[in-house]
Amino acid sequence: MHVKLNDEVIVISGKDLGKTGRVIKCLPKEHRVTVENINIAKRHMKARRADTQSQIVDKVMPIDVSNVMLICPKCKKPARTAHKVERVQNDEGKLVRQMIRVCKKCGADID
């Protein structure tokens, strides 16, 4: 997926079009992400016990990852990403290949 946990994203389709938020959950198998304050569903919670009250709670629902675009942390613009492979040292000091995302707008490494 082109977005990861804690990425800042902008919604590019649907009812939350143009809104931005932080990715709080990734569901790669379903190609969905949960973004804070985006795609909020009102859940009507009915009181089941005498000491609880019926209430409406906001629940953040996951949205399709194709409906969001990454906001580049460097240029702060919605950007498509390219990938490059870099050799980096892992915890054991070995050189391993790692995919790094690059902003197509400003060319900065994202991670």
The residue ranges that bind Zn ion (CB under 5 A) are 72, 74-75, 79, 103, 105-106, 108
Written as six digits, the tokens of 98 are: 């790692």
Q: What's the closest the beta carbon of residue 13 comes to Zn ion, in angstroms? A: 22
The nearest distance, CB 11 to Zn ion, in angstroms, is: 19
With contact defined as beta carbons under 8 Å apart, do 60 and 30 qualify?
no
Specify the residue, 5 or 75, whose C-beta has the smaller distance to Zn ion.
75
Cβ of residue 102: shortest distance to Zn ion, in angstroms? 9
Quote the least distance from Cβ 76 to Zn ion, whole Å.
Answer: 8
Nearer to Zn ion, 68 or 79 (CB): 79
| Residue number with CB closer to Zn ion (27 or 75) | 75
Rounded (to 5) percent helix, strand, coil in the chain:
5, 50, 45
Residue closer to Zn ion by CB (options 11, 70) is 70
Strand 81-89, strand 63-64: pairing: unpaired
CA 6 – CA 1 distance, rounded (Å): 13
* Dist CA 41 CA 7 (whole Å): 22
